Amino acid sequence: MNANTNLVKARDWIDQNLPAGAHVAVESNGPFIDSQNHVVETIGDLFAHGPDWYEKNGWEYLVTGYRNTNLLAGIPVVSSAPPRDYRDFFSGFSLVAHVAENGHEIWIFKTGAILPERRVYARWGVNNAEWLELVGYDKSKSAALPGEPTTLTLYWRSILPRRDRLELTIHWLDSRDQDIAVSHQYVFPSVDATGRWPDGITRVPVQIALPETTPPGLYRVELELAAPDTLGKGNIPVLSREQKPISDKFYIGPFKVAPPTPSLHSVGMRDLNARFGDTLDLRSYSLKYDAVRPGETVTIKLLWQSIAKTGKDYTVFVHLLDASGNVRAQVDTPPLKGTYPTSIWDSGELVEDEYTLMLPDNLPLGHYKIEVGLYEYPSLARLPVIDSEAKGSADHLLLPDTIKVTAP
């Protein structure tokens, strides 16, 4: 067994046990770590920084280089460094793995670093020098609401000890990348008297006020950084892992804007409480019509409630049926005309939607029924209506109302 074998064993352990996106600091003579799956920083000698430095800079895992257990020291790169032991130096951290065969060993520690819910790893800089990193961000709530401010907390990490006054522009963009709202502030609103950027990770809240007319749906946020006092006009570029400029903009998201929360007991709504699969409840509905004539419209309002989050997007169908069960008019559409797919609904969320049936001009007079349901596209597989015994009784729900089509 040689040192290289231990490096391979340590690499395999990391591949199998570290969560995707983990922030890992590894010594230069340590095992290979896939930078496509993790955020990796190679450090010549882990003893070069104090244990607190790794937590302040967001390094969750520390991976040592291999050493020989017969040596007194953990292979300090700096020859004048006194003999030290990884276990003593990082005694405040959890030892999660120790690979040791034939006198060679590698240690893997887990720190107490606090990282954001959404991890990003994006770095900005100039002239092939990395200035700062966006580690990630937190959202204050799962969905924003029209007319209300929404707050994001950005996790910035300064890489170089600079003093530039960095300006941050935030664009809230719709699906066509059109501005819905724009906000401006400094990257580091609070600095010391010298203007020096804070060490380690700094959590900076940013607030964006959405207009009351903001439609529900998915959005993304565009970030632009500038240093006009030192660089003049233009944005600081985002850098590739090879420290080459790739863009002057960076995008995070998606972010959900939810429709206004409807009442479970709206006036004019009739209770249904029908369950479709294990995904959605149709809580209530309303059907607005007086005397309906051929060529006119029938409007149906449905109140849906999500039972649990689903990764699937369902299409709602509303059909007008004649006495023989034939479809004489129909509307098939994702919720809210496709702007608010079921895949982004939160568990327990209520969504009210309207559907309009256009009656054919040549529709025969008589009595008609309305059926509703959901299907997945493109398979067209319908969600079953679940009865009181939790069995699929049908693939549609027939509303109790009868639509009477009368002469003009």
The band of 79, judged by pLDDT with boundaries at 50, 70 and 90, is very low
Strands 104-110 and 350-358: unpaired
Token pair for 216: 């529900």
Q: Are 234 and 248 in contact (CB under 8 A)?
A: yes
Which CATH code is given to the segment(s) 118-257?
2.60.40.1930
Token pair for 214: 């903001």
Return d(Cα 286, Cα 367) in angstroms, integer: 18
Q: Could you give the C-alpha distances from 234 to 90, 229, 238, in angstroms and in order?
A: 43, 11, 12
For residue 172, which amino acid is it? W
Question: Could you read off the pLDDT of 80-98 as tens digits, one per residue?
Answer: 444 467 888 889 999 999 9
The band of 386, judged by pLDDT with boundaries at 50, 70 and 90, is confident
Question: Could you read off the pLDDT of 312-336 as tens digits, one per residue?
Answer: 999 999 999 999 999 999 999 999 9
Return d(Cα 88, Cα 90) in angstroms, integer: 6
DSSP string, 280-315: EEEEEEEEE-SSB-TT-EEEEEEEEEESS--S--EE
Residue-level pLDDT at 89 = 87
Question: 41 burial class (0-12, 13-18, 19+ CB within 10 angstroms)?
Answer: middle
Which CATH code is given to the segment(s) 270-405?
2.70.50.60
Token pair for 106: 């590698």
Report, as an integer, the average pLDDT of 300-311: 94
Identify the CA nearest to 259 among candidates 342, 350, 150.
Answer: 350
Residue 146 CB neighbours (<10 A):
16
**Domain extents for the chain?**
3-110, 118-257, 270-405
Higher pLDDT: 122 or 100? It is 122
Strands 61-63 and 23-27: parallel
Q: Is pLDDT above 80 for 174?
A: yes
The band of 290, judged by pLDDT with boundaries at 50, 70 and 90, is low
